[in-house]
Structure 1
Amino acid sequence: MITLTNLTGSSFTLNALYIEKIESLPDTTITLINNKKYFVKENEEVVVKRTIEYYQQIGLTHLQRGIGETNES
């Protein structure tokens, strides 16, 4: 879970496993896999950093691998 701040200044906790995409439109917009959107004060880089830290905490760092990477030697 990551803690973020909505545009009214209230903080909330979001389950980062459900994030589909993060955009700067110009407000940072987080779209979940169910298509629900959250608008937050944190910039895109901060949200990505917190998401990666959360993945590390729960042992899912392998989700950070880029698309197209292979296990070929």
Structure 2
Amino acid sequence: MIQLFRLNGEAFILNAILIEQIQALPDTTITLLNGKKLVVKNTEKEVIQLVTAYYQTIGLQSIHIEAGEEK
């Protein structure tokens, strides 16, 4: 799980595994696997860093590397 911030500054927790896509439109917009879109205060780079750290914590990063996928 990662902590993000809504545009009004309110913190919330998101299951990073549900993220399908991250875009800067110019606000950072996260599209979930179910199609729901979330606009967050965090930058695109911050979200990617949080997701990567979360994947490493739960061991998913090494699974992607073993499968031959790039970062």
Please state which band the TM-score falls in when normalised by the shorter chain.
0.7 to 0.9
**2:19 corresponds to which residue?**
19
Calculate percent identity across the aligned residue pairs.
Answer: 49
1:63, distance to aligned residue in structure 2 (A): 3.3
Point out where structure 2 has 5 or more consecutive residues left out of the alignment: none
Return the letter of the residue paired with 2:47.
Answer: V
Number of equivalenced pairs? 67
How far off is 1:8 after superposition? Answer: 1.0
> What TM-score results when the alignment is normalised by the length of structure 1?
0.85
Q: What is the rounded CA distance, in whole Å, between the counterparts of 1:56 and 1:63 in structure 2?
A: 10
- Are positions 1:66 and 2:66 aligned together? no
C-alpha root-mean-square deviation of aligned residues, in Å? 1.5
Which structure shows the higher helix fraction?
A: 2
Unaligned runs of 5+ residues in structure 1 are 68-73
Ranges of 4+ aligned residues in structure 1 off by more than 4 Å: none
Map of 2:7 onto structure 1: 7
TM-score by length of 2: 0.88
